[in-house]
Structure 1
Amino acid sequence: MTETQPPVGSGTATEREITRQPDVWRETGRIVRSRRTELDAFLAPLLAEPRLRILLTGAGTSAFVGEVAAPGLARRLHRRIEAVATTDLVSDPLGRLAEDVPTLLVSFARSGNSPESLAATELADQVLEQVHHLVITCDAAGRLAVAHDGRERSFVLLTPDRANDAGFAMTSSFTSMLLSALLALLGDDDAVVEALAGAGEQVLSRRDRVEALVDRGDGRVVYLGSGPLTGVARESALKMLEITAGGVDTYFDSALGFRHGPKAVLDDRTLVVAYLSADAYTREYDEDMVRELRGGVGDEAVLAVRTDEPRSTGDWGLDGLAGLDDAWLAVPYVVVGQLLALHASVRRGVRTDDPFPGGSVNRVVQGVTIHPLAEG
């Protein structure tokens, strides 16, 4: 690609939403900081309750926000935190909410208009004696935000307007909701936000290197990550699947889990993307897997994203992230997966902003009937 050519995907909403994320993250930090007093007044009494259970919920990509955040928050807050998709909570509320303990239900939603979004909060109110709601959403006019605005036991935290993605796939909305949750529950930190934004800009500056990787993974891409980064691997796999309209086979797993059968997907056209943990102990397992894979399929077939010095030509090292937990690293790491999906979509001639023009898959899920749960 020459300097006179536009960036791959230029002109699409998806491309704009991916590339402006560092600035959107900075704005996210400012929003959370501006609402710190209100947040603390809402959260402090809840976090003082030793029996409090925190449930992180959402559907699809919004559910993966919770998968990333839950282990990172649990490590820092030293309490029980679970990620449960709204799709699971709505279909099995008595199983997912079996223990009636004080609960903070954190709901993630781009629009808040998916049928399960509001139903999950209503079922929690119906099943649990003590439940509070922290709604993190990108759309102030969405059904979820409107339903909880001004409620005594609810707090609605909006992301920047620009995070409400217009494209089919959730990109900026995912990272902004994740960052909002971490800042809200762990405390806002301007230095951390700036470090993440800087790392995101580093990823975006390497877009020319993504094209060669897309050539390698034209038919199949595997994403690996451990701990919170398993959720990043899962979200990356979904992005590739979504905006290539299913044209690229994708798989995700943890570093240790991949050996237990899923490794069978590897062939000579597979690209592996490994998101390496910043935790020294966890990273040992990630490094073992990367060495094993490179020994089998070659350095060029394995991209390892890391925060320390690159050890191979296949490593991407991101600077300025020392000391940050994996849940924070997920914010810039996932941009790698987003760019790969964008380039693969354009390469295949897919309409990136609308990969399913026939409506077989929709931006906001349709066709879901919410059935009433019998009282008692």
Structure 2
Amino acid sequence: MISTTYLNLDPQKAERAGAQETAREIAHQPRLWLDVLNLISTNRNGISTFLNPIFAKENLRIILTGAGSSAFIGESAQGLVQKNSGKLTQALPTTDLVTHPELFFMKDVPTLLISFARSGNSPESVETVRLSDIYCKHIYHFIITCNEQGQLAEYARNHSSNTFCLQLPEDANDKSLAMTGSFTSMLLSVLLVTDLNSLEAKTKHVQTAAKYAEYILNNFPEDFQRIADSMFERVIFLGSGPLLGIARECHLKLQELTDGQIVCKHDSFLGFRHGPRAVLNEKSIVVFLFSDDPHVYQYEKDLAESISSDPRGIPTISFGPMNDDGFDSILAISNGNAPTSCGDFNVLVATLVGQLLGFYKSLSLGLHPDSPSVSGAISRVVQGVKIYNKS
């Protein structure tokens, strides 16, 4: 029996509802981020010794890869890693690399494959590493995993000459189905390790992000619960740049925690105007994940004002530096008055929006957030994937 309250849930009620692990894993993220920051700071020299000679290669290509939520880490981090490293960076899901390795790997181009893996046992993740060794003449692996017993961690132990494994703290290895702390801690890790020269400056931003997340977790659960108890059938998450990847992760989080009963979509603010806006109806909620960049925000604000003036009265949730704009959102979470910025790590905090909405909607629908799939169609580690040898 648990004795600690997470996300305003009575411990006994949380246990009966099958919600205790997910609630704890969402609530512990700010502390987990500081643990990851300390881990990387402690292991800075070893990480630099491995990565610096690789980053020194003139035509280095970086591939960020994973499956499901782990793939969305790469999508969120792609531009930021490219900015940090100064190297061409691409986010390519293992689910694409396994079926079409010849279309994506380049034989003579030095390649750093950064793999994200909660369990390290997904068949596609393991096969992608094997295929990269075949299709790339000069391949280097940086594995970020939450499970030291997983197959990818074992691979690293057996291939130490060209592989580094960053083993995250045990608390990053979510026990529940939905990736929460594992997603944000792996995302934080790649943003830090690809710019270790700026670790001191980034430390302040991570600490600010943790404080901002604590503020949300302490002050907004009742608002998310109220919204979750309302009648809606569709949710559209919008973000730009790195926040587009977060919008996609939020989309998945809400959809899997509600066992597909809530249908979700994600898009960029500008992209949403080009046809996808047709999905909006009176039973929709639009979630704005606003950028901290004033230039980007101008484009986002235009669309937000347009949706807010829709005569159908479509409700919205706003996250970001809105200040006094508000857009008549049913929930507005702003860091506009924060004394310091989260910088690039605002993406970590934004992820909480999808997690919290998904968690409370799961409870509202009578599901068990720790294992919401009634049919068993989805599982913590993907099942039923058979790997075929490519001739």
Q: Check whether TM > 0.5.
A: yes
2:86 pairs with one of 55, 59, 78: 78
Match of 1:301 in 2: 315
Q: CA deviation at 1:259?
A: 1.1
Quickly say closer, same or farther: Cα 1:176–1:9, change in 2 above 3 A: farther
Judge conservation of contact 2:178–2:370 (CA < 8 Å) in 1.
yes
Q: Which moved more, 1:92-101 or 1:50-59?
A: 92-101
Checking the alignment, whether the CA contact within 8 Å between 2:229 and 2:364 is kept in structure 1 is no
> Aligned Cα RMSD in Å?
2.1
From the superposition, tell whether residues 8 and 103 of structure 1 become closer, same or farther in structure 2 (CA, over 3 Å). Answer: farther
Give the match for residue 215 of structure 2.
Answer: 202
Pick one of 138, 141, 144 that aligns with 1:136.
144
Cα pair distance change 1:160/1:49, threshold 3 Å: same
For residue 238 of structure 1, what is the aligned residue in structure 2?
Answer: 252
Residue 19 of structure 1, CA deviation: 0.7
Aligned equivalents of 2:119 and 2:70: distance in 1?
10
1:10 aligned onto 2:10: no
CA distance in 2, matches of 1:298, 1:311: 20
Structure 2: how far apart are the matches of 1:369 and 1:275?
A: 37
Identity %: 37
Counterpart selection for 1:170 from 166, 179, 185: 179
Counterparts in 2 of 1:358 and 1:266: CA distance versus 1, 3 Å: closer
Residues 213 and 271 in structure 1, CA contact (< 8 A), matched pair in contact too: no
Amino acid at match of 2:384: G
For 1:148, the equivalent position in structure 2 comes to: 156
Q: CA deviation at 1:243?
A: 0.9
What is the CA distance between 1:277 and its match in structure 2?
A: 0.9
Which residue of 16, 21, 25 corresponds with 2:33? 25
Q: CA–CA distance in 2 between the matches of 1:213 and 1:192? A: 30
Instruction: Determine the C-alpha separation between the residues in 2 that align with 1:294 and 1:175.
Output: 30
1:126 and 1:242 map into 2 onto residues whose CA distance is 35
Aligned to 1:273: 287
**Match for residue 275 of structure 2?**
261
Tell me the equivalent position of 1:65.
73
Offset at residue 133 of structure 1 (A): 0.4
Flag structure 1 segments of 5+ consecutive residues without an equivalent. none
Unaligned runs of 5+ in 2: 1-6
Distance 1:7 1:247 in 2: 26
Distance 1:102 1:9, change over 3 A: farther
The 3 A distance-change label for structure 1 pair 208 and 159 is same
Q: 2:226 aligns with which of 164, 189, 212?
A: 212
8 Å contact from structure 1 (residues 10, 16) kept in 2: no
Alignment of 1:63-142 (within 5 A): 63-98=71-106, 100-142=108-150
**2:3 alignment partner in structure 1:** none
Cα-to-partner distance string for 1:144-167 (whole Å, 9 max, x where unaligned): 111112521000001110010000
Alignment of structure 1 residues 280-299 onto 2, 5 Å: 280-296=294-310
3-state SS in 2 of match to 1:149: helix
* Farther-moved stretch of structure 1 (360-369 vs 54-63): 360-369
* Distance change (3 Å), C-alpha of 1:220 and 1:116: same
User: Residue 269 of structure 2 aligns to which amino acid in structure 1?
Assistant: A
Out of 190, 200, 223, which is 2:237 matched to?
Answer: 223
SS at match of 2:179: coil
Residues 360, 232 of structure 1: alpha-carbon distance in 2 compared, 3 angstrom cutoff: same
Counterpart residue identity of residue 272, structure 1: V
The answer to whether the 8 Å contact 2:208/2:342 transfers is: no
> Who is 2:354 aligned against?
337
How many residue pairs get aligned? The number is 371
- TM-score normalized with structure 1 length: 0.93
Residues of 2 paired with 1:240 and 1:290: CA distance? 21
Answer yes or no: is the 8 Å Cα contact 2:84–2:194 preserved in 1: no
Q: Which moved more, 1:243-252 or 1:274-283?
A: 274-283
On the 8 A contact 2:281/2:314 being kept in 1, the answer is no
Q: Give the AA of the match of 1:225.
A: G
Pick which of 286-295 and 83-92 moved more.
286-295
- Partner of residue 369, structure 1: 386
Seen in structure 2, the aligned counterparts of structure 1 residues 250 and 119 have a Cα distance that, compared at 3 Å, is same
Deviation, structure 1 residue 299: 7.7
Q: What is the TM-score normalised by the length of structure 2?
A: 0.90
